[in-house]
Amino acid sequence: MLHLRVITPADRTSAVVELLTGNEGVTNLVVMAGAARRPAGDLVLFDVAREAANGVIDCLKDLGLEQEGSIAIEHVDLSVSRVADEAEAAVPGAPDDAVVWEDLSRQVSGDCRITWAFLAFLTIATHLAAIGVLLPSLILIVGAMVLGPEFGAVAAVSFGLLRGDREMIGSALRALAIGFGVAIAITTLSALAAHWLDWIPSLARHDEVDFIVKPDRWSFIVALLAGAAGVLSVTAGKSSALVGVFISVTTVPAAGYAALAIALGQWGDVIGSVGQLGINIAGMVISGTLVLFLQRFFWARHGLRVAAPTPGRRHGSSV
């Protein structure tokens, strides 16, 4: 279930209540006339099943509450309520399969911002991957893969392609390019310093990590599967599944290997690592976009239809 807190102008409250009382996925409806102060208006509280959330939110936006009021959405971790269970059972589909598009939009928009935390996590992860390549240590490489924050930006590219949002696509690609650029550059400087101290006499090939610089058809297939699983885990809120996605793809290890190869002038390995990085990102974007398209297609045809408020009652008396 989701909990929504809506502030509505008084002349639109009756239309909001009509919308909500006519939706079988809505329950625990509370109306407090004149309770809101900034913005001024009536306060409407209710719970809605995830499967019905998109239609309800769209209708609330059609009433202008996004601009002249407020719509806040919270996840309900536990609801001990018979009426809530009935509301969830009354709507088609399963909660884990439902995509709340406004929630996804907010999440991926935040993930494609270039922040100090994003750069720091990616740089630390790239350093760990580089050390894992040198030792070699698969444990360190896996740890670096889990630590890397890049999948959020990859998911943002997929979501931007689904919506045709060039600004989001540009922001996400810029975050990936700058993030990996900064991480590789700083790791390269660290590798140069270690090489000067004779800590890294050479970069020897090891069977345990040789796959990083040898992209092939399996690299692309794994990226496709990981991208699909990653988007499903984000839309369903399954963080445990997302960890498995991080471990599946070699984006961060490829960046760490590339940094070492640049520092030591092994340009063949640089090309292989960068190729692996590009193949992984491209595969995840392709499959992620396809999964989002299928989810939108499914819910547009088989999801709950939400009736818009009666036009004549849109500006009725307040409740």
CA 248, chain centre distance (Å):
17
pLDDT recorded at residue 302 = 60
Statement: residue 153 has pLDDT above 90: yes
- Which two tokens mark 168? 């989001």
| Minimum mean pLDDT range among 5-14, 97-106, 251-260 | 97-106
| Minimum mean pLDDT range among 7-21, 49-63, 72-86, 91-105 | 91-105
Mean pLDDT in the chain?
89
H-helix segments, the chain: 13-21, 50-62, 65-68, 82-90, 101-111, 116-134, 138-147, 151-163, 166-196, 217-236, 239-248, 251-264, 267-302
Statement: residue 233 has pLDDT above 80: yes
Statement: residue 150 has pLDDT above 50: yes
Binned at pLDDT 50, 70 and 90, residue 294 comes out as: very high
Over residues 31-56, the mean pLDDT reads 94
| Minimum mean pLDDT range among 20-29, 264-273, 302-311 | 302-311
Binned at pLDDT 50, 70 and 90, residue 311 comes out as: very low
Alpha-carbon gap, residue 217 to 171, rounded angstroms: 29
pLDDT recorded at residue 225 = 94
pLDDT recorded at residue 211 = 86
Could you tell me if 142 and 253 are in contact, meaning their C-beta atoms sit under 8 angstroms apart?
Answer: no
pLDDT recorded at residue 310 = 52
Statement: residue 19 has pLDDT above 50: yes
Say which residue, 214 or 180, is predicted with more confidence: 180
Say which residue, 299 or 123, is predicted with more confidence: 123
Residue 214, SS3 per DSSP: coil
pLDDT recorded at residue 209 = 84
φ, ψ for residue 318, nearest 5 deg: -80, 160
Q: Provide CB contacts within 8 A for 8, sequence distance 6+.
A: 16, 41, 42, 44, 63, 65, 69
Binned at pLDDT 50, 70 and 90, residue 128 comes out as: very high
Binned at pLDDT 50, 70 and 90, residue 305 comes out as: low
Using CB atoms within 10 Å of the CB of residue 107, give its burial: 0 to 12 exposed, 13 to 18 middle, 19+ buried: middle
Statement: residue 227 has pLDDT above 70: yes
pLDDT recorded at residue 95 = 80
Strand order from edge to edge, sheet including 70-75: 26-37, 40-48, 2-8, 70-75
Statement: residue 318 has pLDDT above 50: no
| Minimum mean pLDDT range among 81-95, 122-136, 188-202, 235-249 | 235-249
Residue written as token pair 């063949």:
268
Statement: residue 182 has pLDDT above 60: yes
